[in-house]
Copies of this chain bind each other. A is one copy, B any other.
Amino acid sequence: MSVVFGQVEPAVFQAYAFCTAILGLKMLIMSILTGLQRGAKKVFSNPEDVKAGGKVAYNDPDVERVRRAHRNDMENILPYFAISFLYMFTGPNVTVAVYLFRLVTAVRIGHTVFHALVPVAKLRGLCWAIGFFTTIFMAAQILLHFRLAP
């Protein structure tokens, strides 16, 4: 099999792979959190799932809070996976790239903590904003690096 499209520093790819696995696991855990809340509140989304004493409902505040955090992950982390992957091919400074990957991983964990576990609106907003603008920075680097030559 022959060569591909660009060069990535091994240290950058290592950090990308490690952080992406952590963030992927973090997202999967949201399903567990939702399931735990459904069990605790006996609130289910499908009639065939309802346990004794439970009911179908879509407005339980605790269940819906975890689901909002989960959706926020999908809105932010999934585009980030694609953007941070391509950012590796822009020839970033190794240290900057590694620390940005770690930063986004940390603040997305923080976002879940401050949204679904210990609600603190200001810290949740700060975590979201750091991840959001870091992703925008990476996307801007991609646009600059891969813009059409004049």
Contacts and interface: CB of A to CB of B under 8 A. Distances in A.
Interface of A: 1-8, 10, 13-14, 17-18, 20-22, 24-25, 27-28, 30-31, 45-49, 61, 65, 68, 70, 74-83, 86, 88-89, 115, 119-121, 132, 135-136, 139-140, 142-143, 145-148
Given A25-B136, A25-B139, A28-B132, A146 B1 contact: no
What does DSSP make chain A's interface, helix, strand, loop or mixed?
Answer: helix
A77 B81 CA distance: 13
Contacts of A1: 3-8, 10, 13
28 contacts: A1-B6, A1-B10, A1-B13, A3-B4, A3-B7, A4-B5, A5-B13, A13-B89, A17-B86, A17-B145, A18-B143, A20-B142, A21-B83, A21-B86, A21-B143, A24-B83, A24-B139, A25-B136, A28-B132, A46-B65, A46-B121, A48-B121, A49-B121, A70-B75, A74-B74, A74-B78, A78-B79, A81-B82
